[in-house]
Structure formats: C-alpha cells, structure tokens
Amino acid sequence: MTEPRRRNRSATRQRLLAAARHRFAKEGYEAASVRDIAADAGVDAALVFRYFGSKKGLFEEAAATTTPTGLLDGPPEELPARLLHSLLFEDWSAYAGEHPLVAMLRSSAHDEARDHLREELCGTYVRALERLSDAPDAALRAELFSAWMLGIGVLRSVVGTPAVSAATPPDLAPHLAAVASALFERPVAGSPPPPPAATDDPGAPD
C-alpha cells in the first residue's frame, strides 16, 4: 500500500474537525481556542493552520452541515413531525448534544455563522415547509413553524426549561399536530412515520 499507516493526513483532519464541532458548539466561536481544539484531537495546534489556514477556515469547514438525506422527502403532512423529531431526538452527540443550528446560535455574533444559519434554515427547512400551504404568505407560515422548532430546540438544550426538556415524543405529538394544522390550515400529523423497520418488513420491499 502506498499510504502511510500511523501518520494520516485525512484522519487527522477529521479528528480536528470533530473536535472543532464539539468545542464550537459548546463554547461558541470566540471562547473555543485553537489550542483546546487541537488538544482534544490529540495533535499539535500548528496543524490547524497547516490544514485549514486559520481558525475561521476551521470553523467554516466544521460548520458545513450535513442535512440528513431523506429528511425532506415523504408525504408533506408528515414533514413537520419528521423535522421536529430529527431536531430533538436524533443523536447530535457529535455537536455536543445539540442540533447544529441550535448550537450555532452561540457563534451568531459572527457573520459567517449567521449567514450559514440563514442559508441552511431558509434554503432547506423553510423551502420544504412552504409546500404545505397554498396561501400567499406560505413563506411566512413556513418561517413561523421553523421558528417554533428552533425555539423548542433552544428551550430544550440551551435554556433547559423543565417541561420541554422532559417532554417525550408522545407528549409533543398532539401539540405539534394542533399548531402545525392551525398554521398551515390543513391536517398535519403529530408523530413522525415509523422507522423503516429493517428487522421485519414483509409488506413493501423495493
């Protein structure tokens, strides 16, 4: 094999990116120092500048969000529930336990972070939710629902409000259905569709 075994450029990059995601999410851009990130990754801080040019470069690359594929597909009336479920109950431990968009609020003094936030939110979430309404202000409705999800995420993982923090999917489902139905003026499901059930699915293959 032509590649070295111990010293591995791309693996080190990935370790730095993972550590950066953690630190930036938990402490915000300013408070997270390059030295701390490098220490978490187990490498020297100088490698950050070797591989990413600057702290800002590291942040930009670390903040490049991966919207889970398939999240926006499926029946429109299930979309709100699927989005909220992903936001709240997916495993975001790679981002210090919070959804990347929620964690990025800590760095929102930086234009980079704000732009990224807006693009991700508008370009992905709002655009998908817009299809739920035919009203002339469908975009506003979609943003208002996005605001609700983001707010719930903030209350849950940042502020730590008691009721929302302790809420389980069944607790939230009726309210989700009620609010989304009222906002989009059409029936909206309160629970996400069941998972693909990889173990036993005799019905609909292919």
Partner DNA sequence: GTACAAAGTCATCAACTGATGACTTTTGGG
Partner DNA sequence: CCCAAAAGTCATCAGTTGATGACTTTGTAC
71 binds, among DNA, its own copies, none (CB under 5 to 8 A by kind): none
122 binds, among DNA, its own copies, none (CB under 5 to 8 A by kind): its own copies
Q: x/- contact string, 152-181, with its own copies (CB under 8 A)?
A: x-xx--xxxxxxx--x---x---x--xx-x
Contact flag: residue 34 with DNA (CB under 7 A) = yes
Closest residue by Cα to residue 58 from 104, 17, 100, 99? 17
Residues 193 and 89: their CA atoms lie apart, in Å, by 14
111: exposed, middle or buried (Cβ count in 10 Å: 0-12, 13-18, 19+): exposed
64 binds, among its own copies, DNA, none (CB under 5 to 8 A by kind): none
Query: Nearer Cβ to DNA, position 112 or 143?
Result: 112
Tell which positions 100-139 bind its own copies, by CB under 8 A: 105-106, 108-109, 114, 117-118, 121-122, 126, 137, 139
* 164 neighbors 156 (Cβ within 8 angstroms): yes
What is the sign of the dihedral through the CA atoms of 176, 177, 182 and 184?
Answer: positive
Query: Nearer Cβ to its own copies, position 166 or 204?
Result: 166
Q: How many residues does the chain have?
A: 206
28 binds, among its own copies, DNA, none (CB under 5 to 8 A by kind): its own copies
The least distance separating DNA from the CB of residue 4, rounded to whole angstroms, comes to 3
Tell which positions 40-69 bind DNA, by CB under 7 A: 43-47, 49-50, 53-56
Contact flag: residue 54 with its own copies (CB under 8 A) = no
Contact flag: residue 189 with its own copies (CB under 8 A) = no
Residue-wise DSSP of 92-161: -GGGTTS-HHHHGGGGTTSHHHHHHHHHHIIIIIIHHHHTT--STTHHHHHHHHHHHHHHHHHIIIII--
* 190 neighbors 177 (Cβ within 8 angstroms): yes
173 binds, among its own copies, DNA, none (CB under 5 to 8 A by kind): none
Q: Which of 2, 69, 93, 199 binds DNA (CB under 7 A)?
A: 2
Contact flag: residue 101 with DNA (CB under 7 A) = no
